[in-house]
Amino acid sequence: MYRFYLTAFALLLLPPFSGASIAEALSGYAAAEFRLFTSKPAFPEQDTSTLPPSLALEPEYLYEWNDGNDRLTVVPFLRVDAADDERTHADLRELNWLHIGSNWDLRIGLGKVFWGVTESRHLVDIINQTDFVENIDGEDKLGQPMVNLNLLRDWGSLRLFVLPGFRERTFSGREGRFRSALPVDTSRVVFESSAEQKHTDLALRWSHSVGDWDIGLAHFWGTSRNPRLQIALDASGQPVLSPHYDIIHQTSLDLQATKGSWLWKLEAISKDGKGGRFAAMVAGFEYTFYNVLGTGADLGILSEYLYDGRDEQAPATPFDDDIFLGARVALNDSDNTQLLIGAVIDRKNLSKLFSIEANRRIGDRWVVEFESRIFANVSFSDILFGQREDEFLQLRLKRFF
């Protein structure tokens, strides 16, 4: 409900759509997606379809006026999935007004913000909630109600956020893939704050570039985007997992240094919530070989170490002591062909998660994307054990307009 109040407030602040240099544009994409699951599901309630299709639509409408200093952005999203009712959903990714001043800007409404530099895990990215039914990589996000003031100075950029209203994480349903042995029942949600979804979160971030270094320092106070999952009973008395959302403080640092062909990367956090304060980090590098063998293609080699010091009371994570190894290929051709392959390896139990992502443009308006996730040697104690049979090959065909 908060997002409707905030959006209405934002629209009331808009000046009349008049003045010089008015411009508007409609763009976006429609997509057909097919997932081939190579194994039978691990649990009897799950859908047994091996190639369940789905359709997605994400248009984007931009309206600019006042010589481009004011902008209205509208980005709705719709997914219809044949196998999992929970994956069939709609969202407003963005619905906001942006005003640009001489050395400041202000955004009000639903928006998306990304922080982070590492490849294998985005520790510091905390403003938006994860749309987990879209993809298990955590990179798809729900729109977040916000008032965002950005101050641009010689000493860096200071970004202030007031976040009135909380979005719950989406989870696969009982019939869907990528779930634990017990399904998550979002009707059993519990909040630490008595304000529940109406809690107002606060965040600020300072960022600056100094020579070869890009630096970001942030603090967040509010409802954790990552819930603890605890056993409960649903309405029929069946065991399920209940999401518990705690109030947290998170201080974060992200660094990236560009040294010739080297990119050195770090994301680190100190988080205080359920279970006390703990630290976590992702650190590594990417080295790029340019114009490999005179082909014009670039090859990047990636390596990162993932550490997480949380205890058992905090939300569980599979990335407590892991190594990520990967490679990125860019052919630099007219069709923008790209490939990213990688593996996360648990140093304790040797569980492995392999991933492949590739895309290529076809003509002016079409893009074909390939994605795969493969689980290997997943330990019973690993949080990914419930998804051990959910290896898949995915083909997505997008048409942009």
At 119-136, the pLDDT tens digits run 999 999 999 999 999 998
Q: Are the C-beta atoms of 162 and 149 separated by less than 8 Å?
A: no
Tell me the mean pLDDT in the region 182-200: 94
Query: In the chain, what percentage of residues exceed pLDDT 90?
Result: 77
| Separation CA 101–CA 152 (nearest Å) | 10
Q: What is the pLDDT of residue 14?
A: 47
Exposure letters 275-306 (e unless 16+ CB within 10 A, then b): eeebebbbbbbbebeeeeeeeebbbbebbbeb
At 36-89, the pLDDT tens digits run 999 998 898 888 887 889 999 999 999 999 999 999 999 999 999 988 888 999
Residue 15 predicted with pLDDT over 80? no
Q: What is the pLDDT of residue 20?
A: 52
At 136-148, the pLDDT tens digits run 888 999 999 999 9
Residue 281 predicted with pLDDT over 90? yes
Task: Give the residue with greater pLDDT, 16 vs 30.
Answer: 30
Q: What is the pLDDT of residue 275?
A: 79
Tell me the mean pLDDT in the region 289-302: 97
- In CATH, what number is assigned to the domain containing residue 358? 2.40.160.100
Q: How many domains does the chain have?
A: 1
Residue 288 predicted with pLDDT over 60? yes
At 317-373, the pLDDT tens digits run 999 999 999 999 999 999 999 999 999 999 988 999 999 999 999 999 999 999 999
Tell me the mean pLDDT in the region 296-300: 97
Angle (CA) 286 292 297, round 5°: 80
Residue 8 predicted with pLDDT over 80? no
Domain containing 377 equals 2-400
Q: Are the C-beta atoms of 224 and 242 separated by less than 8 Å?
A: no
Beta strand residue intervals within 165-246, DSSP E: 190-191, 200-210, 213-223, 228-233, 239-245
Q: Are the C-beta atoms of 58 and 91 separated by less than 8 Å?
A: no
Tell me the mean pLDDT in the region 300-324: 94
